[in-house]
Homo-oligomer: A and B are copies of this chain.
């Protein structure tokens, strides 16, 4: 269940020496074809890292032959030298694999504002290329981890078509903080052996990301390096129905997005905030997101306190269509707020399980959206203060 499940892909994860811990920190994923189609979604942060600028150019013709990823340094806010380092990394991959640098995507993650140690990156590329195997997906998934406590992989396989052909969609992801809208501090590589042209890949990827990664909001902070790459080799000979493909891709993205939230820095609760009966999907999404970003609400959930006033006060700051006197809120199935007023007893709410569901009924329409987030904990503060850096 990884980026090497789909036919036509090899991968590797090695230790280049970028991390003080000595853990693996460089991954390589190679598409051996016959197709080299690709689509991507990048961070919308206007302070974008050097690898984002580079990879946007690489993706412009819809072709990617390989992706090189490093943890241990974001290569963001590093100026012309940082961009030259990304370029040199791609050139090195091209050289050792006999490819063109303009078909090599680059991803980086780690601290912003430090130059990458190229004396370690370039030998790391050679080591990764030498380690490429058709079952290297798990090693690659491990090498891209930063503060992640577990590696994240997902797989979906299509049913056989009329000709007995099927295809797979497999992915890996990293990210544990700075998880917010328009992606997160996350790198995601998804591969498929279906035969799909770049335009259709792009449409499917945007559809899937919109309702998965873009609805995971751990801490409201958007990274400079977010990348979701989708590579298609066509090696299965299956040409998919695009509705089916998009559904499978969305499932893979949702699994990875949930895994990111489930491993978010210091979290003790995973919270699904669903706004239903909204006037529009946009309204449902902004209401859920506003609650997901309330530190007061998130701290209350950490303390197992069903403080629904903090839900209502967050909802009230949005411009969504609603009547304050017609809002219902349930936490873990108990309707503690009814018609904008006191509902069932807070004491009935059991917040000891890790999974928490918050349901906000706006009574204003038919649309619905869910945002996944976490609680705000001592451990989040600890991990993100200097004690951990």
Highest count of chain B CB atoms <10 Å: which of A46, A113, A383? A113
Q: Considering only CB atoms and an 8 Å cut-off, how many residues of chain A contact the other chain?
A: 69
Confirm or deny: A277 has a beta carbon within 8 angstroms of a beta carbon on chain B.
no
Q: What sequence of 0s and 1s flags, for each residue 72-113 of chain A, a beta carbon within 8 Å of any chain B beta carbon?
A: 001011110010000000000000000000000000000111
Closest to A351 in B: B386
Known: A221-B295, A340-B47, A385-B302. A178 touches B313 (CB 8 A): yes
Query: In the assembled complex, which residues on chain B have CB atoms less than 8 Å from the CB atom of A380?
Result: 295, 299, 381
Highest count of chain B CB atoms <10 Å: which of A296, A305, A318, A322? A296
Query: In the assembled complex, which residues on chain B have CB atoms less than 8 Å from the CB atom of A223?
Result: 313
As for how many copies of this chain the complex holds, the number is 2
Confirm or deny: A389 has a beta carbon within 8 angstroms of a beta carbon on chain B.
yes
Partner of A386, one of B78, B303, B386: B303
Quote the shortest CB–CB distance from A166 to chain B (angstroms): 41
Partner of A381, one of B48, B302, B324: B302
The reply to whether B115 and A342 contact each other, CB–CB distance below 8 Å, is yes
Instruction: Tell me the chain A residues, 298-337 only, with Cβ under 8 Å from chain B.
Output: 299-300, 302-305, 307-310, 312-318, 322, 324-325, 327, 336-337
Closest to A79 in B: B341
Query: In the assembled complex, which residues on chain B have CB atoms less than 8 Å from the CB atom of A317?
Result: 44-46, 182, 222
The reply to whether A313 and B224 contact each other, CB–CB distance below 8 Å, is yes
Partner of A340, one of B74, B77, B219, B389: B77
Query: In the assembled complex, which residues on chain B have CB atoms less than 8 Å from the CB atom of A314?
Result: 221
Closest to A225 in B: B313
The distance in angstroms between the C-alpha atoms of A136 and B114, with both chains bound, is 57
Partner of A112, one of B76, B302, B313, B339: B313
Q: What sequence of 0s and 1s flags, for each residue 9-42 of chain A, a beta carbon within 8 Å of any chain B beta carbon?
A: 0000000000000000000000000000000000
8 closest Cβ pairs, A-B complex: A112-B309, A303-B385, A47-B316, A303-B386, A305-B386, A79-B341, A299-B384, A45-B316
